[in-house]
Structure 1
């Protein structure tokens, strides 16, 4: 796959980049190891000062980097600005909280009295060089939610970004350099996907994190497992959005639209399967259809655009295959289901709502990475839970109800890493993020995320 910026709104190649050769990759690995040897000994105050400096620079660069992201992967410009601002928030949060999150833990003396120690504590120490394999859909945020905690923990990072967002990748490389980080603390590897395994298997790399597709996650996990290296995987999602009879229907519909088309529908935590109780199904379905059909599709650089193009031509083709397969098997198209007329140059697809989904359709089990929603009618709470869990994924979920009995049941039984009640799933620096089943393992963000790439060390000390 070429390393190039191809504007998805026009299909035009904007810039191309030569991938790094073996010698350049080798230099990066050596620099990362040398940087870690010194950087690991710095204190939290020094690390926080560097990260805050980077946050200030990113805040000042908001408009420029937002336009770069929109040019590279097509998200609406307003969403790109918000993504950059969210990164700044996370950087400042980790700068303020890393020291307390990684403070030594001292057990109750009564619990360890028979251990023979005069003192015992648990210390979180950095692992070393961490390889991050990151996707294009949130090209700044996905990286920063790894980089901010990893750097505050004392690790150094190597970024292998998606090949269609090279300008964003190089911006990140320069951002940390401008902030004053020592050479080698954070570096972008401008390489194709075929070069990932060699870097991952290199003994200088201690661990890896990947956000991306299930096949990519399997490949990284297999190689890392062979080398006995720690990994964190955040993979796909087919999140349920469950609407029960007691729900505030107007709020649920408004949120459902945003939850489905955020980032042009290309989000692992976007709500994708809308599971609605029969008592309110007709009302929800009509309001949802009308709101989706009313969205503005067009140039993502224009302020009034709700939905821009898909990021890649292949991504649109894959989405079309899923819709066409469902329609051929009997699904009903309530709105959309085609390329919008008048937007032939880019990789656009209309916001789409499908009903009448049955188990034999591919779309029932595969992730729809684009503005396509599937509607399901269920008879009761039991069927709602069963339908919500009827997926190989388990990233997050949304439930809409005023019944505490419903909430208790969903919290007990939904197979997901997150359950959002009467609100939309969103990542936040202080909240753990990740999934179960084929959505991956491990957690990003919060204290859980910063500890993923730490050596949890027991320090046992005898009396003099």
Structure 2
């Protein structure tokens, strides 16, 4: 894998706890493995329970006794803007870290990393006008003040596929609310979290407000069970989300969960396939399909199915798969060996289940090294098939036919998930009426848009709570009602 030599990715050696870079308490180490070479490229320390305890204690002290929760919102906003400016100065480094760890094409990561600074600026602006205090009147004429206060010490647990932005959604909103934070990034992708910690340190936030303790499953479980954690914000798989919810239920700790998806793109009978193609190409398999909101089920009218396949398949076959460091690459490898094994298992299940393999299904020619899988499309898929029901998290798309709009709505909703979706039609109002029938937390008409200034999250087993927008700030606030007699 070639990489910009001007962007060094150094191996982390310490944790960021209570405003200092502290030495690990144990010799435990983790490896970052290149998805292109399949070789370890960076070794770094893993936080043990003792390190996590220290981080939580620092966050608790900062919340109970420090200035951060007690600042005026405008003062917190000034710190957040400093963080945003520092992140902006390091966008190229953040893009290369993402590409190196995950295998996402550099052309894509460069486009997406500005969202990290956008989130900090957005929440800085929001809290300067947000109604943290709402003065009301009771029916008897008495005064009521409704306050929105920070929930407390929060754990922010982020996944490996989009490491920094999915952490930043939590950190920017939590800090804006006045919470103190303990961040645990995925063990496969810690580098961006270290960049964020450095930016927060340079911005001068008070000690203990932000703490970073990268670790694996054991450390994550210790963190969510910690009695001093008031809230857990998690993005990841539905099964892990259920585990977190069960653990937090014992002490009624607050939880927000952004989980899996099996999102449908519904092309209504009047849809223009050529117009739909660009967004379908980007969002049916983004980051090699390793995105929760991927449009992995494409619902097309049975009467136009062949026409759709004639449009879609040549574009999929034409995707340039290769080195993610090459700006011309459109699809890189999967992030890790276990992910490739999982995806190949689903491809085998699709064949065994009776779906028609329309293209792909193997490993790309000439790419014998690296966790590569061809972009794959199955047709003649029915909602009961495994590949239509379960989140694959790889470059595998199912084309599902329908008879009429009622049939399309039934099939679009035939899933335990409900994260995202799209509706395509020449008639926007027709698409809007259909979108209202879909049981999913986000939808786009004639495309796919995820905007950090607006809420994102899911129905059903795709999670609870929302990230982004004012709703993302609400995640980190408690409501207090004060009656004045």
Give the TM-score, by structure 2 length: 0.91
Are 2:103 and 1:42 equivalent residues in the alignment? Answer: no
Alpha-carbon spacing, 1:286–1:14, altered in 2? closer, same or farther (3 Å): same
Q: Deviations over 1:267-314 (max 9, x none)?
A: 101100000012332222111111111000000011000001111111
Match of 1:7 among 34, 46, 51: 34
Q: Deviations over 1:156-201 (max 9, x none)?
A: 1111111101222222222211211112111111221112232222
Residue matched to 1:70: 99
| Count, aligned residues | 456
Deviation (angstroms), 1:128? 1.0
Q: Deviations over 1:225-245 (max 9, x none)?
A: 112111001110000000012
Q: Deviations over 1:338-359 (max 9, x none)?
A: 1111111110111111111134
Alpha-carbon spacing, 1:404–1:305, altered in 2? closer, same or farther (3 Å): closer
| Contact 1:4–1:165 under 8 Å retained in 2 | no
Are 2:175 and 1:151 equivalent residues in the alignment? Answer: yes
Residue matched to 2:7: none
Are 2:300 and 1:276 equivalent residues in the alignment? Answer: yes
Alpha-carbon spacing, 1:405–1:178, altered in 2? closer, same or farther (3 Å): closer
Alpha-carbon spacing, 1:320–1:102, altered in 2? closer, same or farther (3 Å): farther
Residue matched to 2:290: 266
Alpha-carbon spacing, 1:238–1:154, altered in 2? closer, same or farther (3 Å): same
Match of 1:113 among 139, 144, 149: 139
Are 2:161 and 1:137 equivalent residues in the alignment? Answer: yes
Are 2:452 and 1:429 equivalent residues in the alignment? Answer: yes
SS of the counterpart of 2:71? coil
Correspondences of 1:229-378 after superposition (within 5 Å): 229-378=253-402
Residue matched to 1:200: 224
Deviation (angstroms), 1:137? 0.8
Q: Deviations over 1:386-426 (max 9, x none)?
A: 110011100011001134563354233211001211121x3
Residue matched to 1:461: 484
Alpha-carbon spacing, 1:280–1:360, altered in 2? closer, same or farther (3 Å): closer
Separation in structure 2 between the aligned mates of residue 264 and residue 59 of structure 1, nearest angstrom: 26
The runs of at least 4 consecutive aligned structure 1 residues that moved more than 6 Å come to none
SS of the counterpart of 1:113? coil
Separation in structure 2 between the aligned mates of residue 330 and residue 411 of structure 1, nearest angstrom: 30
Residue matched to 1:126: 150
Residue matched to 2:133: 104
Residue matched to 1:391: 415
Residue matched to 2:45: 18
Alpha-carbon spacing, 1:2–1:407, altered in 2? closer, same or farther (3 Å): farther
SS of the counterpart of 1:182? coil
Residue matched to 2:87: 58
Q: Which runs of 5+ in 1 are unaligned?
A: none
Higher helix share: 1
SS of the counterpart of 1:393? coil
SS of the counterpart of 2:362? coil
| Contact 2:52–2:219 under 8 Å retained in 1 | no
SS of the counterpart of 2:163? coil
Residue matched to 1:28: 55
Q: Which runs of 5+ in 2 are unaligned?
A: 1-27
Separation in structure 2 between the aligned mates of residue 375 and residue 198 of structure 1, nearest angstrom: 42
Match of 2:117 among 77, 85, 88: 88
| Contact 2:186–2:215 under 8 Å retained in 1 | no
Separation in structure 2 between the aligned mates of residue 17 and residue 61 of structure 1, nearest angstrom: 21
SS of the counterpart of 1:105? strand
SS of the counterpart of 1:369? coil
Q: Deviations over 1:83-133 (max 9, x none)?
A: 3211111211111112323432234x4xx223x62x212111001110011
Separation in structure 1 between the aligned mates of residue 355 and residue 478 of structure 2, nearest angstrom: 51
SS of the counterpart of 1:100? coil
Separation in structure 2 between the aligned mates of residue 404 and residue 25 of structure 1, nearest angstrom: 50
Separation in structure 2 between the aligned mates of residue 219 and residue 317 of structure 1, nearest angstrom: 24
Residue matched to 1:414: 438
SS of the counterpart of 1:101? coil
| Contact 2:409–2:438 under 8 Å retained in 1 | yes
Deviation (angstroms), 1:213? 0.5
Separation in structure 1 between the aligned mates of residue 282 and residue 226 of structure 2, nearest angstrom: 42
